[in-house]
Amino acid sequence: MDLCAGRILRTHCGRQQDSQIEAFTGYRVAISITSNPNTPGIGLRLAHLAEMVATRPAAGWLEVHPENFLANPHAAELLTEVSLHYPISLHTVGISVGSANGIDHLHLKRVRGLADRLKPIFVSGHLAWSTYGNEYLNDLLPLPYNEESLQLVSTHISYVQDTLGQPYLIENPSSYVGFRSSTMKETDFLSEIVRRTGCQLLCDVSNVVVSAHNMVYDAYQYIDNFPADAIREIHLGGYTPEKDEATPGAELLIDTHAAAIADPSWDLYAYALRRFGPKPTLIEWDNEIPPLATLLDEAAHAGEIAQAIDASAEANRVAAR
Residue 145: name the closest of 110, 98, 199 by CA. 98
CA dihedral 159, 160, 166, 171 (to 10 degrees): -130
Q: Are 314 and 277 in contact (CB under 8 A)?
A: no
**Where in 260-279 is the site for Fe ion (CB under 5 A)?**
none
Q: Is 204 in the site for Fe ion (CB under 5 A)?
A: yes
Q: Are 173 and 142 in contact (CB under 8 A)?
A: yes
Q: How is residue 63 annotated by DSSP?
A: E
Using the minimum distance from each CB to Fe ion, give the nearer residue, 51 or 204.
204
**Which residue(s) pair with 29 in the sheet?**
3
Closest distance between Fe ion and the C-beta of residue 207, in Å?
Answer: 6
Three-state DSSP at 103 gives coil
Closest distance between Fe ion and the C-beta of residue 275, in Å?
Answer: 19
Residue 282: name the closest of 305, 308, 303, 262 by CA. 303
Q: Is 45 in the site for Fe ion (CB under 5 A)?
A: no
Per CB under 5 A, the segment of 12-20, 39-47, 104-112, 204-212 that binds Fe ion is 204-212
Q: Is 63 in the site for Fe ion (CB under 5 A)?
A: no
Closest distance between Fe ion and the C-beta of residue 208, in Å?
Answer: 10
Q: Is 235 in the site for Fe ion (CB under 5 A)?
A: yes
Closest distance between Fe ion and the C-beta of residue 233, in Å?
Answer: 9
- HSE, side-chain direction, 13 A CA sphere, residue 5: 0
Can you tell me the distance from the alpha carbon of 6 to that of 24, in angstroms, rounded to the nearest whole number? Answer: 8
Using the minimum distance from each CB to Fe ion, give the nearer residue, 39 or 206.
206
Q: Are 236 and 202 in contact (CB under 8 A)?
A: no
Per CB under 5 A, the segment of 20-28, 159-167, 199-207, 218-226 that binds Fe ion is 199-207
Using the minimum distance from each CB to Fe ion, give the nearer residue, 78 or 262.
262
Per CB under 5 A, the segment of 117-125, 146-154, 211-219, 230-238 that binds Fe ion is 230-238
Closest distance between Fe ion and the C-beta of residue 202, in Å?
Answer: 7
User: For residue 252, what are the contacts with CB-CB under 8 A and spacing of at least 6?
Assistant: 176, 213, 214, 241, 242, 243, 244
Residue 171 has φ and ψ, to the nearest 5°, of -100, 135
Using the minimum distance from each CB to Fe ion, give the nearer residue, 78 or 94.
94
Q: Is 298 in the site for Fe ion (CB under 5 A)?
A: no
Closest distance between Fe ion and the C-beta of residue 171, in Å?
Answer: 5
* # residues near Fe ion by CB under 5 A: 2
Q: Is 255 in the site for Fe ion (CB under 5 A)?
A: no
Using the minimum distance from each CB to Fe ion, give the nearer residue, 204 or 298.
204
- HSE, side-chain direction, 13 A CA sphere, residue 121: 21
Using the minimum distance from each CB to Fe ion, give the nearer residue, 169 or 309.
169
The residue with its CB nearest to Fe ion is 235
User: For residue 30, what are the contacts with CB-CB under 8 A and spacing of at least 6?
Assistant: 1, 2, 4, 56
Per CB under 5 A, the segment of 28-36, 127-135, 235-243, 259-267 that binds Fe ion is 235-243
Residues that bind Fe ion (CB under 5 A): 204, 235
